[in-house]
Structures are given as structure tokens and as C-alpha cells.
Structure 1
Amino acid sequence: MRWGFLLNRILILIVLMTSGLFINTGYASCTVNVISNITPMPLQAANITVGADAPLGTQLMWLTYNMNLTQGGKSWNTVTCTDPRPVMVNYSLSKLPMPLASWSPSGAANGKVYQTNVPGIGVWIHQGVQGASAVPISKLATSEYNTAPGSGCATGKCTVMGNYRRWDVVLIKTGPVSPGTVLGSSLPCVQVNYTNDVNTAQNMISNTCMTGSVNIVSNTCKTPDVNVNLGKYQVQEFNGKGSTTPWVDTSIKLTDCPAFHGYNGYGNWYLDAAGTNGPGRPTQNSLELQFSPVTKVLDSIQGIIALNERPGSASGVGIQLAYGTPSSATPVNLGQSKKYVQAIGSQGDVTLPLVSRYIQTESNVTPGSADGMMKFIINYY
């Protein structure tokens, strides 16, 4: 009798619990005042130059897709749901042609960067309403204009901000980059829907895939050795510490440089609901020059190095290096690099103007050979 009574209680509890489970499996019904659409999104940047030395995570392109709906001076989408739970706007990646990248930055994009068809170029989708986020993401829809005073979106019916239909395609550097063409077909497709049930496919208002392509330039210039003849001078021409010989052109002349198309910064290359687009304001590429002296450094701030020490060498003088021309020279600080910004679209040969000269560094000068050596490094950004 006792075991039978317990068994009956257990069965009743199971039936009650199971009945409650079935009650909650129905999906809420939501409607929106816009027609769902499948929209191609053209990539706006034709060419991007990626410097070989640009750090991982460098933002290469930021393309904004802005499909705000404007009515009566306001941007709105009206969402009505049968369930009183808060209205959510859900962003998902409806198509993933490529797998996740092996590297991703910290922050919102961490773990949400995908490969493209060009090695070293990754892509993530940014959504910035109510804080920077990476797609896929679900966000609580906030009310721009409530249909009833004090009702709010939690009632299951509200008019939400139209700029929830805005998101951005972001290309970043994820590894060594080879020249190539990023195809729009290799990028994710983005789907947007409103619902009470997070991450469902109900009430899709847009599904957008990329079209077109972006050409990636990632080459370097040819860098020849620079041999400079500083001339021959008599010891008597040096009359004390700091006395110098005339400046001699020592410019570094780079040849066969790639086209410097620039790369993208925030807010460039956009497409809006009217179908218009902007040409963008690409960040200019730059060449960074830094020196690594082979012979001893005598004065790093003034760019002075010692002569090679070997039998028959002169003494009491050094070699000074400066940026500029003989008529306008600024001593090189050997502890710092210098960037040369390149004009958008420029290519071919690039001259980095430098000059050098002998300078007396000791009280006495003795005759002999007077040569030195310095390595230079060109970084591409």
C-alpha cells in the first residue's frame, strides 16, 4: 500500500511537470511593418594597399550598410508580438563561406573573425546600436516612439529605432598578406529579424550578401644600397670640436614601389537606404625609416657615428646624418624612426631625402681613411 501511494504521487508530479513543459513550447507570433528582402551589398573600395609591416588587427576597410526607414521625420520599424516578453532584434550570419580565422583581436570581435579568400585578410560584422558588438548578436529593442504612453517594448508592441538595420563590414589584417582579390562571395551574409524569441528565423526583414571585390596590394619597393662619397679634406680644415664639412646628398631612392591606395579608417565607404554611397576617406599609406648603426654611436640625438676602427683610419672625426637637403638639414635622432606619408594613388619611385657630412668630435684630428657604415630599415604601413 505504501509503495503504491508513492508511485501514484510520482506519476502525478511527472504528468504535471510534463504538462507545464508542453505549455511553454509555442513560439510567439510577431509582425513587422516592413517587407522582408534579400539585398546584395556592393563592396565600395576598389583597391586597398596593405603594408607588410602593418600590425595584426589593422583595420583595412569599414563599409557601413545603413537601411534606416524614415517616415515623418523619424526612423522606425513597428513590431507587434502576441507574447508580452521584450522585443529583440537579432543579427545572424545566414551564410558562412569561410571558416573562423586562426587569429582575432581582443574586444567585441574576439572569436568572431572569419577568413576571406585572401590569406591574412579577415572579416567581422560590427553592430553598434547600444554598444559595439560583433554579429551574431541579439539586442533588446529600445523604443524610439511607443504606440501607447508608458507601454514600452516589454508589452510586445512598440515602434523601435530604424537604425537597428545598420551594421558594418570590417576587413582586418589577421596574418601575413599576399596580393590578391577579396571576393564579396567569400564574406558572410547578414540576416536581421525582430521577435520575442531570441535567435529564431521568424520575421526576417533583411538578408544581405556581399557582391563585387576589393583588390589587395601588398608589395614592397626595391631598396638599393646607398654608397656616399663624403670627399677628401685636409686636417687643417677642421678647427675645433663641432666643425664640419659641407653636407652631401645621401638620399635613399626606392624604386618600383606599388601603388599606395591607402587603407580604411572608421566610417568610410558606406551605402545607405537610398542606394547612395560615399567614396570614403582612406588612410594614407606610409613608409617608416629607421637606422641601425654598424659602427659605434657617438651622439644618438645628433645622428653622429664613429669611423670604422682599423689600421690607417683617421681619428677625431665622425659622420653625421641628417634628414632633408644641404640647405635644410635636421640631424637624425638614431633612437627614433621617421614616417613618410605617401599620396593616395602614387607609385613608382620614392626618394627619402637625407644628407651626411664629417664632423670633428675630438680636440685633435689625425689623417687616414674615414668611412663608416649604417643599416637602414624600411617598414611599410
Structure 2
Amino acid sequence: MNHPIPYGRQHITDEDIAAVNDVLRSPYLTQGPKIGELEQAFANYIGSAYAVAVANGTAALHLCCMALGVGPGTRVITTPLTFSASANCVRYCGGDVFFADVSSDTVLLDPAAVRTLLESHPQGYFSGIIPVDFAGYPVDMVAFRELADEFGLWIIEDACHAPGASFVSETGTEHRAGDGSLADLAIFSFHPVKHIAAGEGGMITTNNESLYKHLLRLRTHGITNKPTEFTAPYEGEPERGGWYMELQELGYNYRLTDIQAALALSQLARADSMLDRRRELASRYDSVFAEAAEKGIPVQIIVPPDGVIHAYHLYVIQTPNRKGLYDFLRTKNILAQVHYVPVHLMPYYRNFGWKPGDFPNAETYYAHCLSLPLFPTLTNDEQDYVVDQVVTFLKAV
């Protein structure tokens, strides 16, 4: 191929550009009507009662921790196999991060490992869990909800990779990632390589009205201008007029703009078709690599069982000579990527005592994983080229 093929890429259409242009010609650029439209449309798409649009996925995580009261002395469990924001949000609030290993079958946070960690400490030692729908594979939120109820924990579901993902529980109930049926709060990202691109942007979903109202305030400096939420007047206070607002707690400017909301709304309108294309491409990869593995070619893939609907933000293979394959593909204009360096091995977290060997499943996966190109506008010819180059290299290993 004469052009580079990245692991992910946004898809911007004429309709997207027109939607943004309409906002640029309107009276609103920041917190205008498109914000509410996006929140309602996204809540409908995910299946949650409420949605709060924010500046990015990291801001969404931070605000969730704030709304749930994370602070010094708060201990939260998450996976080491994620982008660092899933852990950093706890540190932003002064809390302590604990990790539990992933399952070797799914590379998702392992409920059994979390239970072991919980049972090794007194009841009440931990406050919450942040499981991650890694690569678009939805976590078993039923198992985590049972743990949360047993040990008195809250749950933030990091669903940045998984809009449109779902799983069917043993009772036959379908649970969509982030629908609020099992997690207290869930978060999504509108980064360009995600399913819905807004440049930057994020969303929090919940079925809890109290948390929803709190988040609305926290994303705007902790300020409210709603008279029903005002505190009682203080002695000698001047008369309140239409200008009046209250800073009720310390919040942040984590607002999304109408420009970004318009782009996300336009993208959301075709979210299902883009998701279908991701799954079609993943299925093509599955067929080739499953056949290659049967022939003894050193490649491993993760295929979810029946009842699990994967969103395929990433398509990941595992192979022994990952570094060699990564370098080879770059010579062929294929910009594969690695997701992720385990968070506990980052220098910042090693300062807290985490070390190699703490989470062998996550570390083994990291040593072998490579994310191949997967995005809705990837052509079949481009994908065939990627597959040919991967198989060519692995045959020679």
C-alpha cells in the first residue's frame, strides 16, 4: 500500500460538516441547544435514564469520582489493562488505586480476582470498582453488581470502547454497556478513533437522578442558576435578581461545546451502521486468523461466546514476536498499535509499590498483544493487505 493504514481513524461525512457549519452560524458555540439534544439522543441510544455531556472521557471519569465522594482514604479497584485515566481519576480526587488481574480468556477485569482482593481486607476497606469494557468486549456487570452489593461498593463502568456492546445474563436479560441497569455511573469517549467522534468529548450515563443533577453542577464549576437549588438567603443579602447564581461546591469547567455536540449528534445518527461495519471487519479477521492458528501459525484471538455482543473498538491479536511484527508492519505502511502498557507498570504507579509480576495475566497479554487496523472506512482490500502482511511475517517466525 502506498498510503499508511492506521489502527483507527475517524470518518467525517458531508453531513457531519454541515451539522458543524449550522452551529457556527447559530448564536451558540458553547452550551447551546445541541448539548441537550445530544444528551437525550445518547441516553436513548444506550438505554439509560440520563446522560451528561462533558469535555472528554477523562473528565467524565473525574466527575464520576467527585460525585461519588472519592477523596483521601477512598480505595478503588480497577484493571491494570486500560488507559491510565481509568485509574488516574481516583488519584485526581486523592483516593488510592488498587488493581486486580484480568481473566486470561477475556483480558477483562476478573470478578474472581476482585473477590479475592476484597476478601483479603476488612469489610468497608474498599469503596468502589471501575471495570473497563476493554476493546469493546462488555464486562460481566452482573458479577460486579453482585460483588458491589455484597461488599457495599459503587461501580463506574468505563465503557469508552463499547457503545453498542451488550451481553445476555443467565436470566435472559440483555444489558447494554452503560445502560445504568447495573453500574451506578458509566462513561464514554468521543475521541476521534472511538465509535462516535467529536474531536474531543465524553458522556456520563446513569439511572440515578440525584447523581445526574450533581454531575450537571460539577461540570460547570459547581455553580447552579436554578432557583429551586439555591440555598437560603443569608442575613443582609442584597435582593436576588435574574443574574443570581451560586457556587455551591468546587467543580470544573468540563463542558462540551455545541460545535462538538453537533458533530457527535451527526455521528450518532449512523452509529449502528458504523458498528455493523466494525463487526463485519472483525468477523473477516476472525476467519483468517482462526484458520491460521489451526495451521500452526503463532496467532491467538479472543472470540466472545454466544450472548456477548462485542463493539470492536479494537481488534487485537496475540503473538510471541509482537515487537518484530510491529516493526515489520510499519515498514509496510501498517500502523498497528499496542493497547496498553499495564497501568501498574507505569513509573507513576510503580512509585506506589506496584511491580512486574503483580498481575501475570495482564502482563502476559501485554507482551503479546497488537491492535490491527479497524475502522468503518477500512476497505476490504486494505484489510486483505493487512492480513497478508501479518500472515507472511508470522509464517516466517
TM bucket, shorter chain: under 0.3
Greater strand content = 1
TM-score by length of 2: 0.20
TM-score by length of 1: 0.20
Q: Which has the larger radius of gyration?
A: 1
